[in-house]
Chain A
Amino acid sequence: MRFRGFLLGILLRCYPADFRRRHGDELKAMARDVLAEGDGSLRRLRVWAGLVLDAVTQGAALRLGTARSAMGAPGPWLVDGKQAARALLRRPGFTLLCVATLGVGIGAVTVAFSLFYSVILRPLPFPEANRLVGLWHAAPGLRPDDINQSPASYFLYRENNRVFDDLGLWDQGEVTVTGLDRPERVTRLLVTGGLLPTLGFPVRLGRAFLPEDDRPGAEATTILTHPYWLRRFGGDAGVIGRTLDLDGEPHEIIGVLHEGFLFTDPALLTPARFDRSAVMNGDFSYQIIARLGSGVSMAEAHADLERLLPRLATDYDGHLTPTMLSEAEFRPVVRTLREDYAGDREAPLWMLLGVVSGVLLIACANVGNLFLARAESRQPEMATRTAMGASGWSVIRTLLAESMLLALLAGAAGLLLAVWGLKGLVAYGPEILREIPALEVSLPVVTATLAISALSGIFFALLTFIRLTGRDLAGTLVPGFRDAGGGPGRARVRDGLVVTQVALAAVLLVGSGLMVRSFQAMRAVDPGFVAPDELITVRLSFAERTTPGAEQVALKHRAVLDALEAIPGIASAGASTSVTMDGRDSHSNIYFEAFPVTVGELPAVHRVKFIAGSYAETMGIPVVAGRTLTRSDLEDRRRAVVVSEDLALRYWGRPAEALGQRLGFEPGQWWEIVGVTGPVHDEGLHRETVPIVYFPMVGARAERDPYAQRTMTHVLRTEQPSALLPLIREAIWSVDADLPLTDLGTHAKVVRRSLGQTAFAMFLLLAAAATALLLGTVGVYSVLSYLVSQRTREIGVRMALGADRGAVGRLILSRGTALVGSGMAIGLVASATLASFAGATLFGVRTLDPLTYATVGTGLALVATAAVWLPARRAARIDPIEALRWE
């Protein structure tokens, strides 16, 4: 019996508290009666089941106030929803303004979040990707940047580590594909057998690489990536077993990767087939990815690599000695794959997110103010309801329904804006955006948007409710007792919102101002060459099979140059392994005759380029001293080089002093410096110039060590780039009909790209600032107007009592300027603080740039004055008699 009572008590708790209070006893009594009627345990069990079901369903229905009540009447929420919709429709101006304002803010945040998500948050397409790490080296004594890996370090780490499940080495390059309808140059990922298993990325057709495929001398094989397979082979499953010629060497296609291989986005993969016995320890041109064993920390991995690193110098042949390792302070670096991938894109994206959040906050503040204003006018209604017995909860429900409906509408509008906006950005915005795979408004982003909308809805409802219940509602029913809109609490909230808006607008304006200055500074940088839109570049590569031998290569490149120079309209032509800012870099040890390196000491490492033809002249790089490399230098295989001015300055103080000095790849094999050319910003406009040594395209590092550069970028200067493109193609194919051309176009694109990121940031900030300014102005204006209209009566009284119009106007004016002034002050101080964090994205401008701050301050003041002056004028124009009558 007692147990039954206990159970019934539990069932009772299904019901909401006040229902329990009123009917609890009756419920229990009836339940007991029902139970008493039954006999037999089966029957009793059925009765209990019925009671439980009844309690749960009715209790839930009561708690939720669900749509159909026991009476058949629509439940409270549905009623509120319909009423909310009607209320919003009754005031279309208010509704539209709120939805538009909030929608813009939400849309902007959605776009920014999509970007952010795609680059930083979205999981990488590999299983347990958080265990994937990239392995690097750091050698501060040698270079400030990271150093890559070598085949030697690959074998060393792979065979001896205790912390990784597996690791794989890779390098991205290009390869010429022939054997299909037309030759093509594509990106190729060189991998060791361990890479695909380390990533855990599956094969869709055929098989992955086996250890046998990765042995030196093994039959050449290749795996295609999914997009390449679709594009070139039409998704034909019969590709397995076919042969592709890569750089002239036949490779058997053994597999096709699954979709979504977002790893450097190559067209195909080939095994490295290193000869373990012949690898040199100093060839740091590759990269390694490893998978941490489960439960292994980064610190443990680091420690294990440190343990192994010294063996790199002892167990393998090459330039690297133990002394060098310690002198250069060689040590391993382990970074998560995510860090490597997102890398330097993080900072601008965080900034973007911050900026648009600022805009959203301003929009919320605006709408919040509108809500507050409207709340004032609903006081009588709410007071009446409360007086007639409506609970606080029902008032909240009404407000919540209205503001949630509004917020969700705004969210939907924002989503729509975001989808269009993102498409537009990808199509017309900076190139960088097109490189981000799958940039779209995805499901997680939509969820976030809905959450933001819901939160803002709750925020507005709360705001209104607090305002309404902040004072005695009943008091407002008495006519004439109407609060002149100036109770201290509510004025503070409203004022606070206005000040916040102005402050945020100031921050955004200063930010965009600084960006504009950065952009200007960057554009003013002399890249080191001239008129990039008159410079055509095209990349050509002669494969071993078609062009064996260094002599042949030199002849062919030379033939191409001759053919190109013969085209009328071409002012000059040249070639280089890497053109300024094209992202390719090649470094080498350089020994200087005048500065011998002592035993165990490390030689200098410098960027090298191999040139032919009139490279410097074509590029517009000025000759500072001496001469450039000539045709006869090349033909006679003379050991002559040209260096850039910054290199000459570094070693000899004056460019002219460098002439006649000697340097080389090896000590004893000297080349003579015959010229010094101007410095170039090889890494981009916002980075320092890079010292470069220009070697001739073909030569011999040592007596029996000839080299020839198979792949060169040919550059042509002409005033008519587009008109000559077909002639250029013809000229090249007249030398070699099978030669694929890549990257044929003007060099301007590359320069634009360097400016691109700053330009984009600038554009975004300007857009955000303009929106912020607009919203802020509207906010200030609406608040002050509202103030004037609320205090019309009071103003009328004052004027009737003799206050002159001027004084009234000045009152409003002073109130307004106080708000704006404090907003600006806070905003400017905040900008200065934030700008110090954004130092890296700024270029050539101080964080406290006086011009920017002064301009923003003045501009904002002017705009705000207008917003303040209009209501003040209205206040001054109030007719006291009208004002007093109006009640």
Chain B
Amino acid sequence: MSRGSDPTAQPLRPAVFHVLLALSKGDLHGLGIADEAETASAGALTLGPGTLYRSLAEMTACGLVAVSDHPPEGSDPRRKYYSITSEGRALLTLEAERLARVLDVARERDVLPEPA
């Protein structure tokens, strides 16, 4: 995966970010990830099956996510669950920090109110 010369400077694609975000809470299967992503992005991001699984395939190849070998309790044994890897978590953190830095700039310029 390439993020240009400085990996922390380039933004992550929304789909990737939200998949990682969704999996950060725990393992999910396909539809679960899509639902979480839709909620977290306030409806802006709707992932169809093709888009989702293509992303998952690439992210798996890059080692950011993996097929879960401990699916959560009460889950459907037929479905594949995905979990985030440590690399994925690291990337997620980096991206969140990057976003936070951008928001700081916005607050400095009075675009956003300071947190109470």
Are B58 and A70 in contact, CB atoms less than 8 angstroms apart? yes
Residues of chain B with a CB closer than 8 A to A27's CB: 49-50, 53
* In the complex, chain B residues 1-18 whose Cβ is within 8 Å of any chain A Cβ: 1-3, 10, 12-13, 15-16
Give Cα distance in the complex from A33 to B51, angstroms. Answer: 16
Residues of chain A with a CB closer than 8 A to B54's CB: 19, 58, 61-62, 69-70
Closest to B79 in A: A29
Residues of chain A with a CB closer than 8 A to B58's CB: 69-71, 73
Closest to B15 in A: A70
Residues of chain A with a CB closer than 8 A to B30's CB: 26, 29-30, 33
Residues of chain A with a CB closer than 8 A to B57's CB: 19, 22-23
Give Cα distance in the complex from A70 to B54, angstroms. Answer: 7
Interface string of A21-36 (1 = CB under 8 A from B): 0110111011101100
Chain B CB within 8 A of A206 CB: no
| Majority-rule SS of A interface residues | helix
Are B31 and A33 in contact, CB atoms less than 8 angstroms apart? yes
Chain B CB within 8 A of A57 CB: yes
Chain A CB within 8 A of B40 CB: no
Are A50 and B48 in contact, CB atoms less than 8 angstroms apart? yes
Closest to B4 in A: A72
**Which of A30, A70, A72 makes the CB contact (< 8 A) with B31?**
A30
Chain A CB within 8 A of B52 CB: yes
Chain A CB within 8 A of B24 CB: no
Give the number of residues in A that approach B within 8 Å (Cβ atoms): 29
Between B10, B15, B51, the greatest number of chain A beta carbons within 10 A of the residue's beta carbon is seen for: B51
Are A72 and B13 in contact, CB atoms less than 8 angstroms apart? yes
**Which of B1, B2, B16, B51 makes the CB contact (< 8 A) with A58?**
B51
Chain A CB within 8 A of B55 CB: yes
Give Cα distance in the complex from A54 to B34, angstroms. Answer: 14
Instruction: Give the distance to chain B from A539, nearest Cβ to Cβ, in Å.
Output: 77
Are A34 and B31 in contact, CB atoms less than 8 angstroms apart? yes
Give Cα distance in the complex from A58 to B55, angstroms. Answer: 10
Are A71 and B1 in contact, CB atoms less than 8 angstroms apart? yes
Are A26 and B48 in contact, CB atoms less than 8 angstroms apart? no
Are A74 and B49 in contact, CB atoms less than 8 angstroms apart? no
Are B62 and A26 in contact, CB atoms less than 8 angstroms apart? no
Instruction: Give the distance to chain B from A77, nearest Cβ to Cβ, in Å.
Output: 15
Residues of chain A with a CB closer than 8 A to B12's CB: 72
Are B53 and A23 in contact, CB atoms less than 8 angstroms apart? yes
Residues of chain B with a CB closer than 8 A to A69's CB: 54, 58
Are A26 and B13 in contact, CB atoms less than 8 angstroms apart? no
Give Cα distance in the complex from A29 to B59, angstroms. Answer: 20
Residues of chain B with a CB closer than 8 A to A58's CB: 48, 50-51, 54
**Which of B1, B49, B62, B78 makes the CB contact (< 8 A) with A30?**
B49
Residues of chain A with a CB closer than 8 A to B51's CB: 54, 58, 70
Are B55 and A71 in contact, CB atoms less than 8 angstroms apart? yes
Chain B CB within 8 A of A542 CB: no
Give Cα distance in the complex from A25 to B34, angstroms. Answer: 16
* In the complex, chain A residues 31-86 whose Cβ is within 8 Å of any chain B Cβ: 31, 33-34, 50-51, 53-55, 57-59, 61-62, 69-74
Residues of chain B with a CB closer than 8 A to A869's CB: none
Give Cα distance in the complex from A721 to B49, angstroms. Answer: 89
**Which of A29, A50, A53, A72 makes the CB contact (< 8 A) with B16?**
A72
Residues of chain A with a CB closer than 8 A to B56's CB: 23
Instruction: Give the distance to chain B from A37, nearest Cβ to Cβ, in Å.
Output: 9
Chain A CB within 8 A of B80 CB: yes
Chain B CB within 8 A of A154 CB: no
Closest to A22 in B: B57
Are B16 and A31 in contact, CB atoms less than 8 angstroms apart? no
Instruction: Give the distance to chain A from B76, nearest Cβ to Cβ, in Å.
Output: 9
Give Cα distance in the complex from A853 to B1, angstroms. Answer: 64
Give Cα distance in the complex from A30 to B31, angstroms. Answer: 6
**Which of B29, B31, B50, B55 makes the CB contact (< 8 A) with A57?**
B50
Interface string of B18-38 (1 = CB under 8 A from A): 000000000001110010000
Chain B CB within 8 A of A15 CB: yes
Give Cα distance in the complex from A73 to B58, angstroms. Answer: 10
Give Cα distance in the complex from A393 to B63, angstroms. Answer: 23
Residues of chain B with a CB closer than 8 A to A31's CB: 49
Are A70 and B55 in contact, CB atoms less than 8 angstroms apart? yes
Give Cα distance in the complex from A419 to B88, angstroms. Answer: 56
Are A26 and B2 in contact, CB atoms less than 8 angstroms apart? no
Residues of chain B with a CB closer than 8 A to A51's CB: 48-49
Instruction: Give the distance to chain A from B16, nearest Cβ to Cβ, in Å.
Output: 6
Residues of chain B with a CB closer than 8 A to A14's CB: 50
Give Cα distance in the complex from A387 to B98, angstroms. Answer: 38
Residues of chain B with a CB closer than 8 A to A53's CB: 48
Closest to A62 in B: B54
Instruction: Give the distance to chain B from A26, nearest Cβ to Cβ, in Å.
Output: 5
Are A73 and B1 in contact, CB atoms less than 8 angstroms apart? yes
Given contacts A26-B79, A30-B34, contact A70 B13 (CB under 8 A): yes
Instruction: Give the distance to chain A from B82, nearest Cβ to Cβ, in Å.
Output: 10
Instruction: Give the distance to chain A from B94, nearest Cβ to Cβ, in Å.
Output: 14
Between A54, A55, A61, A74, the greatest number of chain B beta carbons within 10 A of the residue's beta carbon is seen for: A54
Give Cα distance in the complex from A35 to B114, angstroms. Answer: 43
Closest to A55 in B: B50
Give Cα distance in the complex from A59 to B53, angstroms. Answer: 11
* In the complex, chain A residues 203-221 whose Cβ is within 8 Å of any chain B Cβ: none
Residues of chain A with a CB closer than 8 A to B16's CB: 70-72
Closest to B13 in A: A72
Give Cα distance in the complex from A26 to B54, angstroms. Answer: 12
**Which of B31, B49, B79 makes the CB contact (< 8 A) with A54?**
B49
Interface string of A282-296 (1 = CB under 8 A from B): 000000000000000
Residues of chain A with a CB closer than 8 A to B46's CB: 50
Residues of chain B with a CB closer than 8 A to A62's CB: 54
Between A23, A29, A30, A53, the greatest number of chain B beta carbons within 10 A of the residue's beta carbon is seen for: A30
Beyond the given pairs A19-B57, A70-B13, A71-B58, 12 more chain A to chain B contacts, judged by CB atoms under 8 angstroms and listed by A's residue number, are A14-B50, A19-B54, A26-B49, A26-B53, A29-B29, A30-B30, A30-B52, A61-B54, A69-B58, A71-B62, A72-B13, A73-B1
Top 9 A-B residue pairs of the complex, sorted by shortest distance between their CB atoms: A54-B48, A58-B50, A70-B55, A30-B30, A33-B31, A54-B50, A30-B49, A23-B53, A72-B13
20 A/B residue pairs, CB under 8 Å, sorted by A: A19-B53, A22-B57, A26-B29, A26-B53, A30-B52, A34-B48, A34-B49, A50-B48, A51-B48, A51-B49, A53-B48, A54-B50, A58-B51, A61-B54, A69-B54, A70-B13, A71-B59, A71-B62, A72-B10, A74-B2
Residues on A lying within 8 angstroms of B by beta carbon are: 14-15, 19, 22-23, 25-27, 29-31, 33-34, 50-51, 53-55, 57-59, 61-62, 69-74
